[in-house]
Amino acid sequence: MKIDTISKLDKWRKECHKKQLAIKTKVLVCLGPGCLAGGSDQIYEEFLKILEKKNIDNISVESIKKTGCHGFCARGPLVVIEPQGIFYSKVKKTDVAEIIEKTLLKGELIDKLLYKDPGTGTTYTEWRKIPFYERQQKIALRNVGQIDPDAIEDYIAVGGYAALAKVLKGMRPAEVIEQLTKSGLRGRGGAGFLTGRKWATCAKAESDIRYVLCNGDEGDPGAFMDRCIMEGDPHTVLEGMIICAFAVGSTEGYIYVREEYPLAVVNLQKAIDEARNYGLLGDDILGSGLCFDVKISKGGGAFVCGESSALMKSVAGEIGEPRAKYVRSVLKGLHDKPTVLNNVESFANIPVIIEKGADWFASIGTKKSTGTKAFSLAGKIRNTGLIEVPMGITLREIIYDIGGGVLDNREFKAVQTGGPSGGCLPAAKLDLQVDFDTLTENGSMMGSGGMVVMDDQNCMVDVARYFLNFLVEESCGKCVPCREGLYQLHNLCKKICDGEATDDDLRLMEDLSRTIVSASLCGLGQSGPNPFLSTIMYFRDEYMAHIRDKKCPGGVCKSLITYRINADCDGCMACLTVCTSDAITGEKKKRHVIDEIKCNRCGACYAVCNVNAIDII
Amino acid sequence: MIIDTQSIKKVIGKSVPDRGQLIMILQNIQQEFHYLPKESIKAVSEYLNIPQSTVYSAATFYKSFSLIPRGENIIKVCKGTACHVKGADLIIDQLDAALGIRPGQTTEDMKYTIEVVNCVGACAMAPVMIVNNKYFGEVKCNRAARIAKKG
């Protein structure tokens, strides 16, 4: 069926909506990355298997929907029953029969699967009431976890492509750009450039052809928001791109997806094919005369390809080395033509801005950072998962109110935001507002939205070393300050971790960082020393402990610690079995001993001990 | 494993001979053979009419390409930030003890290859291990070797 007019789209939407309403009870099985690791695909299949055999009123296989990430990964696998919003967590395949028997047939709740807040002890039935969800406001993630990403009808039913219809029906390209500028939307990839201004520049550039690119190369370790959007709601990305194509006058677009996200590629491709079949992509979209098509370009596992000019080289089939940007890529981008490059989350915001208006969007968040931002919560935090919150919320609200605080009630040490280019903020900065400018002023950055929480058992020097090592490996090698500078900076940092550094080394590192920041070609190098600079700014005492006292307060740096077994040891042999250097001896039910000379400090014994019998000295 | 040029050419032939297809073609070869055989570099350069050095440069620039054969079972250990702070190194050490190989290496019997990946975007379930594309979350180090062997 070709949807070649806007009225046909409206009619189709009504049909889709009616079909959805006919399904009285919906069972949403989360197939996001977290739940999938817990085997949610098997849960989904089990539902189908049982329901195919049974004949139950009002409930058919159509009631069972697989969705993208619902958000609360820490409690996965998740099963949500709508319209009641019943939230079942930590579901196992063996629970499926019981859910069908009790909840779907009799309307009874299954107590053991309900979420119980570990802090207050309150049991929650409905997901919207859970503190993790209650504080959130979803715009970019509005459909993720709510619809089946494989079914275009689901997207249409919730208002999909209505913004596109609105644009095509009565807006001029300049009006679209004006709305976007007014909304104050800033690029969600991290740099925070005004999207409206970017589009305006591209639209004005003289050229026979213009490109629209979507950056799905979510390379920051600790970030998975874009992944969840591409996997869970691919059509919204397409809709955003088509609106952009209309506004800037483009006919060709690419979505650049990193190769570590195979499911995103599959779901996006399916969405593209379906949209094309229905006439929402390709020639004469919705009979408006607009021609635009999208292709997927798969990355090759290079972090630097998230940088605009490197990404464009990679799309063109070359190696992803950035270029000096005397001329911005919006004027001279892919194949040297004017190009708009926006992040996945930015595109996901666009249909909503068009539909609800710029003023509505600008009323959310802060004055200079409007709207909401998606974050992935990970690390030593209780409620790991995917969230979206209004800009201007404090770090404390995110980490404690939504995130449930530090795992195992340990002491909060730092939160890392912005990936390798970002920084670590200490407890004293927890009341900072989360927006583009505040985070940058405080030595970190918004980045794409990864938030990794660290506790007292993490070492900040080790974290800096980890990121520097990451950047050394990912530096493309084109310019010397980044290639050689980061390499030396990493060596010096390693020297500190090894307990061999002096005060002079620290000074050298600070000096070297300044050179790298000012002389590197692209963002990777310019922000490369950030992991070091932000940790030395807030955790200098930890550096000094390594350098002067030869101690690692976090108990991480191998050269500076020793493991010892204390009197609490019950001789369970667990540590002995995992020891990688045969350093532990002892008999069953008797206290074990670690040979400090043999021990390679791998830390496995500490990780497996159930009675806290291993001390780090 | 012996790979003849004919089967390589068959994979290459699926794409149009356009310079812009270079990475896509290499990805297809990698997917088919799990690495880029030496012969494939030459074959691609002839097909696209570009120097072998250009193909080699792309093959070594992008991390997803391997120039050496990889084992039957690919064990990936995620070393994203979340996995790092939650003990990814412990997993690597345990795998080393059990299989005798470090990341990037393959066992002599060509059964297992260990690879470290930067982040697979399953951070909420850190630390994460992926065996032959199946995800394992919240991996305890004492279970790592068993997961690697049994999948």
Report the interhelical angle of A225-232 vs A262-277 (nearest 10°): 40
pLDDT class of A228 with cuts at 50, 70, 90: very high
Cβ-contact A260, A230 below 8 angstroms: no
User: For A281-304, what is the mean pLDDT?
Assistant: 94
| CA atoms of A428 and A308, how far apart (whole Å) | 34
Q: Which of B31, B61, B91 is the last residue of a domain?
A: B61
Kind of pairing, strands A79-82 and A86-88?
antiparallel
Question: How high is the pLDDT of residue B150?
Answer: 82
Q: Are residues B54 and B89 in the same domain?
A: no
User: For B73-92, what is the mean pLDDT?
Assistant: 93
A138: left (phi over 0), alpha (psi -120 to 50) or beta: beta
Cβ contacts from A onto B, under 8 A: 171
Question: How high is the pLDDT of residue A76?
Answer: 86
Q: Are residues B84 and B141 in the same domain?
A: yes
Q: Which domain holds residue B77?
A: 73-150
Question: How high is the pLDDT of residue A24?
Answer: 87
Nearest to A224 among B18, B122, B141 (CB): B122
Q: Are residues B105 and B37 in the same domain?
A: no
- Tell me whether residue B30 is in a domain: yes
User: For A256-262, what is the mean pLDDT?
Assistant: 91
DSSP letter assigned to residue A129? G
Instruction: Quote the mean pLDDT of chain A.
Output: 94
The helix/strand/coil state of A110 is: coil
Give the neighbor-by-neighbor strand order of the sheet with A290-298.
Answer: A282-285, A290-298, A252-257, A211-216, A339-343
For residue A414, the tally of other CB atoms under 10 A from its CB is: 26
Inter-chain residue contact B64 with A376, CB threshold 8 Å: no
Which of A398, A486, A500, A328 lies closest to A137, judged by CA?
A: A398
Question: How high is the pLDDT of residue B113?
Answer: 94
Contact partners, residue A331, CB within 8 Å, separation at least 6: A201, A202, A205, A338
pLDDT class of A368 with cuts at 50, 70, 90: very high
Cβ-contact A561, A569 below 8 angstroms: no
First to last CA, chain A: 70
Inter-chain residue contact A301 with B81, CB threshold 8 Å: no
- Tell me whether residue B132 is in a domain: yes
Amino acid at A482: C
| CATH code for the domain of B118 | 3.40.30.10
Question: How high is the pLDDT of residue B2?
Answer: 64
Q: Are residues B15 and B39 in the same domain?
A: yes
Q: Are residues B77 and B133 in the same domain?
A: yes
Question: How high is the pLDDT of residue B1?
Answer: 56
Residues 32-51 on A with a CB inside 8 Å of B are: 33-34, 36-38
pLDDT tens digits for range A145-162:
999 999 999 999 999 999
Complete DSSP assignment for A57-87: TTB-GGGEEEES--S-GGG-S-EEEETTTEE
| CA atoms of A546 and A466, how far apart (whole Å) | 16
Chain B residues lying within 8 Å of A450, measured CB to CB: 81, 123
pLDDT tens digits for range B85-131:
999 999 999 999 999 999 999 999 999 999 999 888 888 889 999 99
- Tell me whether residue B41 is in a domain: yes
CA distances from A171 to A166, A179, A242, A519, B118 (A): 7, 10, 14, 45, 43
pLDDT class of A62 with cuts at 50, 70, 90: confident
| CA atoms of A164 and A239, how far apart (whole Å) | 7
| CA atoms of A611 and A146, how far apart (whole Å) | 42
**pLDDT surpasses 80 at A308:** yes
CA distance A307 to chain B (A): 15
Inter-chain residue contact B64 with A301, CB threshold 8 Å: yes
Amino acid at A125: T
Inter-chain residue contact A578 with B63, CB threshold 8 Å: no
Inter-chain residue contact B85 with A463, CB threshold 8 Å: yes
- Tell me whether residue B68 is in a domain: no
Q: How many domains does chain B have?
A: 2
What are the beta bridge partners of residue A296? Answer: A255
Contacts 24+ apart (CB under 8 A), A112-115: A113/A79, A113/A88, A113/A89, A114/A87, A114/A88, A114/A89, A115/A72, A115/A75, A115/A87, A115/A89
DSSP letter assigned to residue A589? T
Give the neighbor-by-neighbor strand order of the sheet with A64-67.
Answer: A64-67, A26-30, A79-82, A86-88
Q: Which residue of B has its CA nearest to A305?
A: B62
Nearest to B137 among A38, A301, A320 (CB): A38
Q: How far is CA B30 from the centre of its chain?
A: 8
Q: Are residues B135 and B79 in the same domain?
A: yes
Q: Which of A339-348, B26-35, B114-123 has the highest mean pLDDT?
A: A339-348
Instruction: Quote the mean pLDDT of chain B.
Output: 91
Please tell me if residue A474 touches chain B, with a CB cutoff of 8 Å: yes
- Tell me whether residue B67 is in a domain: no
Amino acid at A337: K
A259 versus A393: the higher-pLDDT residue is: A393
Contact partners, residue B119, CB within 8 Å, separation at least 6: A219, A220, A221, A222, A223, A224, A260, B78, B79, B80, B81, B83
The pair phi, psi for residue A290, each rounded to 5°, is -75, 130
**pLDDT surpasses 70 at A489:** yes
Please tell me if residue B42 touches chain A, with a CB cutoff of 8 Å: no
The pair phi, psi for residue A556, each rounded to 5°, is -115, -45
Q: Are residues B82 and B123 in the same domain?
A: yes
Cβ-contact A119, A134 below 8 angstroms: no
Helical ranges in chain B per DSSP H: 5-12, 22-33, 38-48, 52-61, 81-85, 88-99, 141-150
Q: Find which of B12, B23, B83 to mutate to test the A interface (most A CBs within 10 Å of its CB).
A: B23
Q: Are residues B133 and B79 in the same domain?
A: yes
Q: Are residues B40 and B101 in the same domain?
A: no
**pLDDT surpasses 90 at A238:** yes
Q: Are residues B57 and B82 in the same domain?
A: no
What are the beta bridge partners of residue B134? Answer: B131
Please tell me if residue A222 touches chain B, with a CB cutoff of 8 Å: yes
Q: Are residues B125 and B80 in the same domain?
A: yes
Cβ-contact A530, A463 below 8 angstroms: no
- Tell me whether residue B66 is in a domain: no
CA distance A175 to chain B (A): 35
Please tell me if residue A281 touches chain B, with a CB cutoff of 8 Å: no
- Tell me whether residue B44 is in a domain: yes
DSSP letter assigned to residue B14? T
What is the Cα gyration radius of chain A? 26
pLDDT tens digits for range A503-512:
999 999 999 9
The ipTM estimated for the assembled molecules is 0.92
User: For A347-368, what is the mean pLDDT?
Assistant: 96
| CA atoms of B82 and B124, how far apart (whole Å) | 8
- For the record, the structure tokens of A336 come out as 């040297």
Contact partners, residue A355, CB within 8 Å, separation at least 6: A159, A162, A163, A166
- Percent of chain A residues past pLDDT 90, beyond the cut: 89
| CA atoms of A462 and A457, how far apart (whole Å) | 11
**pLDDT surpasses 90 at A119:** no
- What domains sit in chain A, N to C, each tagged with a CATH number? 26-82+86-125 (3.40.30.10), 152-362 (3.40.50.11540), 372-455 (3.10.20.600), 460-547 (1.20.1440.230), 562-616 (3.30.70.20)
Amino acid at A232: G
| CA atoms of B86 and B1, how far apart (whole Å) | 38
Cβ-contact A463, B83 below 8 angstroms: no
Amino acid at A239: E
Q: Which of B13, B38, B61 is the last residue of a domain?
A: B61
| CA atoms of A440 and A444, how far apart (whole Å) | 5
Tokens 């550094």 belong to: A501
Say whether the peptide bond before residue A173 is cis (omega within 30 degrees of 0): no
pTM: 0.94
For residue A483, the tally of other CB atoms under 10 A from its CB is: 15
Contact partners, residue A412, CB within 8 Å, separation at least 6: A399, A405, A406, A427, A430, A453, A455
Q: Which residue of A has its CA nearest to B18?
A: A317
Q: Are residues B56 and B93 in the same domain?
A: no
DSSP letter assigned to residue A418? S
CA distances from A357 to A169, A172, A255, A361, B148 (A): 16, 15, 26, 7, 52
